Structure 1
Amino acid sequence: MSSRFWKAGKRRTVSAALAGACLVGTVGVAVWLAPDEAAEPPARARQYAVTQACLLTDQQGVAAAEAAVVWGAMQDSSAATAAKVSSLPVIGDQSVGNAVPYANTLVARKCDVVLAVGSTQVAAVTQIAPANPAVRFLVVGDTEASGNVTVIAPGAQTRAKVSEALAAAFGGRK
């Protein structure tokens, strides 16, 4: 009778030892496979401020010469203030009637500053500006400034003037 208890005790001891070895092995593997927090690369997503500037262009987008200059100034401003910048090309007929819905789209996107490059886009923006007094409009072209519309004459200083105007609009916010 005592031999039967001795065998049962031995089985329990062996079972407990195997369970312990499995537990130690599982914890060891988990620690070995766990990611090292110090080795994680920094987040690649850029943190933007709540301000946003949007550029209305012709169908060439920011590839057009004049738009590329303004886009460069917008990117400079974004780097300095963390403002989000985007562009929207007018697709199809390059008429004011076709460009107005695109300009209104930028207003609907809650752009704080809407920039326009090109005569059609400038005309569309100046047409919708009076109905949107909370939005600042910045146009590069030959037109009249009014209320919430700032005009920058195209030329050699366009990039610097756009950067200055955006810095004033964003007030250096981050």
Structure 2
Amino acid sequence: MGYGRADITDPGRAVTLPRVLGGKIDKRLRGSTSSRVVWPRLSRRQGMVLGGGLAGLLVIALLVWALWPEPEAEPRPREYTDATACLLTDADGVAGAGAAPVWAGMQQASRETSGQVRYLAVGGEQTVENARTFVGTLILGRCTVIVAAPGIADGAVRAVAGDHLNQQFMVVDGDAPEGPNVVLVGVGEVAATLRDRLSTQN
């Protein structure tokens, strides 16, 4: 077996390729860098079994999708109107003995009309003079109706109501004189009275 040589000392001479196996390239070397994937052939029975299995999986997937429980809808936030009833209380807030039933009646009126209710407790000195500044805060807060709980709150309303005739006031079991913008009610009348006042603002 001989191999051709290239004389690298003479640049004008061509390089002779090696003669492999008598000058012929072994056919076994052809395409040695490529590969083919041969898939196994399935018999008819195997094809039917495979197809049936795939169909069964598809049916199961459809059943799971159809029977999967839908996610619970998130509760929608309650929508309120612009009407607002504001309760003024002493330092005990809505937990006080006089304010608690008033606040309960206001909440009932809110549920029935979608009007808003909130409260403000008088801080600092528990005097009518100090409570007047808190009435002013509620007036600036654009409350539709300012409700005075029994005690210093109704005294404060009595002192300022005449200077704010465009503001509605409601005094519960108090001593404030009834006027064009002040209504006197009992505790049991809070819900019904506020329901009418808040409904007219919708």
TM-score by length of 1: 0.70
* Range that drifts further, 73-82 or 92-101: 92-101
Query: Which residue matches 1:138?
Result: 170
Distance across 2 between alignment mates of 1:47 and 1:171:
15
**Aligned residues of 1:81 and 1:172 also touching (Cα < 8 A):** no
Q: Which of the two has greater helix per residue?
A: 1
Q: Which residue is 1:160 aligned to?
A: 188
Q: Give yes or no for contact 2:84–2:143 (8 Å, CA) kept in 1.
A: yes
- Aligned pairs for 1:1-174 (under 5 A) are 39=71, 41-140=73-172, 141-152=174-185, 158-171=186-199
RMSD between aligned residues: 2.5
**Given residue 128 of structure 1, which amino acid in structure 2 is its aligned partner?**
V
Aligned equivalents of 1:57 and 1:41: distance in 2?
Answer: 39
Of residues 38-47 and 119-128 in structure 1, the stretch that sits farther from structure 2 once superposed is: 38-47
Larger Rg computed on CA atoms: 2
Using the alignment, how far apart are the partners of 1:95 and 1:82 within structure 2?
A: 33
Any unmatched runs of 5+ in structure 1?
A: 1-5, 7-37, 153-157
Aligned mates of 2:76, 2:160 — CA distance in 1: 37
The Cα of 1:173 is off from its aligned counterpart by: 5.9
Report the Cα distance in structure 1 between the residues aligned to 2:72 and 2:158, rounded to whole angstroms: 49
TM-score, length basis structure 2: 0.61
**2 CA distance for matches of 1:116 and 1:83?**
18
Query: Counterpart of 2:177 in structure 1: which amino acid?
Result: E
What is the CA deviation profile of residues 54-107 of structure 1, one whole-angstrom value per residue up to 9, with x for unaligned ones?
000000000111200100000000000001000100011111111011111111
The residue type equivalent to 1:50 in the other structure is D
Q: In 2, distance between residues paired with 1:162 and 1:139?
A: 9
How many corresponding residue pairs?
141
Give the CA deviation at 1:44. Answer: 4.9
Asked whether the equivalents of residues 155 and 175 of structure 2 are also in contact (C-alpha less than 8 Å), the reply is: no
Q: Any idea what SS the aligned residue of 1:50 has?
A: coil
| Cα distance in 1 between the residues matched to 2:143 and 2:105 | 17
The list of structure 1 runs, each at least 4 consecutive aligned residues, that deviate by more than 6 angstroms after superposition, is: none
Higher relative contact order (CA 8 A, sep 6+): 1
Higher mean C-alpha displacement, 54-63 vs 124-133: 124-133
CA contact (8 A) 1:81 1:170 kept: yes
